[in-house]
């Protein structure tokens, strides 16, 4: 059908009586229930929930949000060595919505935002400085697992921005963490060394005269790591698990400036005024 409504020759006018009858018939509720069921089914399909999530041990559970399905597969492989009781995994589809720049409708209609809220058990306008409220969450930690590149950093920033915008109290409880993986790995015989930043790798090269005798592996993303390596990462969880520590008002300002065009504009005006 390609015609515009004005070309039909007649209009379909629904009477108030008809609309009331449809409302009372339960059709609307049935459609809404079906839509919720479909959304929940899709969520359940993608979520590998921690066994203890939503129980009295929820505070000890960590939800790992991964950058896509390949990263999820890596996380699931890694969890094979430490178990699934305290760790859940959910893959994100692309970059999260910048909630600081979005409308209320955009936020409410965003599937990824709604999924994360449901999985963790978050409630808007809740103050999680209250220990009782904090203990009611399905997960006690949120761990971000992305590629160690610019896109991965942006995803981490958007997630921190999301939590900071609606539940700043969670950041005060060090709720958010990241899972880091090597950017470069060098091997020579049984000797093996991993590097998590290029400056770290370059420094090692400067200090190691025979560095060229080592086999060097560059990781382009999480998909470059093998299942065997994933198990190695998760076996040494403390080495790869990095908490984001909240530093107070300074962090608030930095997050606001990074994700709010309006605040960046105010900052520029303030600097210009100060410079006069």
Question: Each residue of 191-222: pLDDT tens digit?
Answer: 999 999 999 999 999 999 999 999 999 998 89
The catalytic residue among 67, 177, 178, 229 is 67
Residues 58 and 163 in one domain: yes
pLDDT at 65 over 70: yes
**20 domain residue, yes or no:** no
141 and 96 belong to one structural domain: yes
Structure tokens belonging to residue 129: 């400085």
User: In this predicted structure, which of 6-15, 69-78, 200-209 has the lowest mean pLDDT?
Assistant: 6-15
Q: What is the model's pLDDT at position 192?
A: 94
Q: State the pLDDT at residue 104.
A: 94
Q: Would residue 52 show up in a list of annotated catalytic residues for this protein?
A: no
Same domain as 200, residue 140? no
Model pLDDT for residues 84-135, shown as the tens digit of each residue: 999 999 999 888 999 999 999 999 999 999 999 999 999 999 999 999 999 9
> Is 85 marked active-site?
no
CB atoms within 10 A of CB 276: 4
Please choose, from the candidates 61, 95, 86, the residue with its C-alpha nearest in 3D space to the C-alpha of residue 175: 61
Answer yes or no: is 4 within a domain: no
Residue 47's CATH number: 3.40.50.670
State whether 88 and 198 are in the same domain. Answer: no
Provide the pLDDT for residue 273. 42
The active-site residue out of 49, 52, 147, 177 is 147
pLDDT confidence of residue 270: 41
Mean pLDDT of the region 3-19: 57
89 and 153 co-located in one domain: yes
- For residue 86, the enclosing domain spans 37-181+227-245
Angle at the Cα of 68 from the Cα atoms of 103 and 197, rounded to 5 degrees: 100
* pLDDT reading at 141 higher than 80: yes
Same domain, 157 and 192: no
48 is an active site residue: no
* Whether residue 97 is found in the same domain as residue 201: no
pTM of the model: 0.78
Radius of gyration of the chain (CA): 24
H helices of 26-177, in order, are 27-46, 69-79, 104-109, 111-120, 131-135, 150-166, 168-172
Give the lowest-confidence range in 2-6, 245-249, 262-266: 2-6
Options 69, 109, 129, 149, the catalytic residue:
149
| CB-based contacts of 178, cutoff 8 Å, min separation 6 | 143, 144, 145, 146, 156, 241, 242, 244
Select which of 29, 151, 202, 203 is catalytic.
151
Q: Is 236 a catalytic residue?
A: no
Question: Does residue 263 carry a pLDDT above 70?
Answer: no
pLDDT at 246 over 60: yes
> Quick check: 274 pLDDT over 60?
no
Instruction: Please state the domain count of the chain.
Output: 2
> Are 50 and 89 in the same domain?
yes
Q: What is the pLDDT of residue 33?
A: 44
Q: DSSP secondary structure string, 260-272?
A: -HHHHHHHHHHHH
């Amino acid at each position: 059908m390609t015609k515009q409504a004005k070309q039909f020759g007649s209009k379909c006018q629904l009477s108030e009586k008809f609309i009331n009858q449809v409302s009372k018939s339960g059709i609307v509720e049935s459609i809404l229930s079906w839509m919720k069921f479909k959304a929940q089914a899709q969520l359940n399909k993608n979520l590998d929930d921690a066994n203890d999530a939503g129980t009295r041990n929820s505070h000890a559970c960590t939800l790992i949000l991964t950058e896509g399905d390949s990263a999820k597969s890596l996380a699931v492989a890694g969890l094979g060595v430490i178990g699934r009781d305290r760790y859940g995994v959910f893959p994100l589809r692309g970059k999260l919505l910048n909630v600081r720049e979005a409308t209320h409708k955009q936020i409410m209609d965003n599937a990824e935002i709604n999924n994360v809220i449901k999985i963790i058990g978050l409630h808007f306008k809740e103050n999680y400085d209250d220990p009782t409220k904090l203990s009611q969450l399905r997960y006690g930690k949120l761990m971000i697992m992305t590629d160690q590149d610019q896109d991965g950093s942006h995803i981490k920033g958007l997630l921190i921005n999301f939590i900071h915008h609606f539940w700043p109290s969670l950041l005060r409880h060090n709720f958010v963490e990241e899972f880091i993986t090597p950017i470069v790995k060098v091997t020579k015989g049984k000797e093996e060394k991993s590097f998590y930043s290029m400056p770290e790798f370059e420094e090692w090269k400067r200090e190691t005269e025979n560095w060229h005798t080592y086999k060097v592996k560059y990781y382009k993303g999480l998909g470059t790591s093998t299942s065997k390596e994933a198990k190695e990462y998760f076996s040494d969880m403390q080495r790869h698990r990095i908490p984001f520590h909240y530093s107070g008002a300074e962090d608030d300002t930095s997050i606001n400036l990074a994700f709010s065009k309006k605040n960046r504009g105010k900052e520029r005006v303030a600097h210009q005024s100060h410079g006069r």
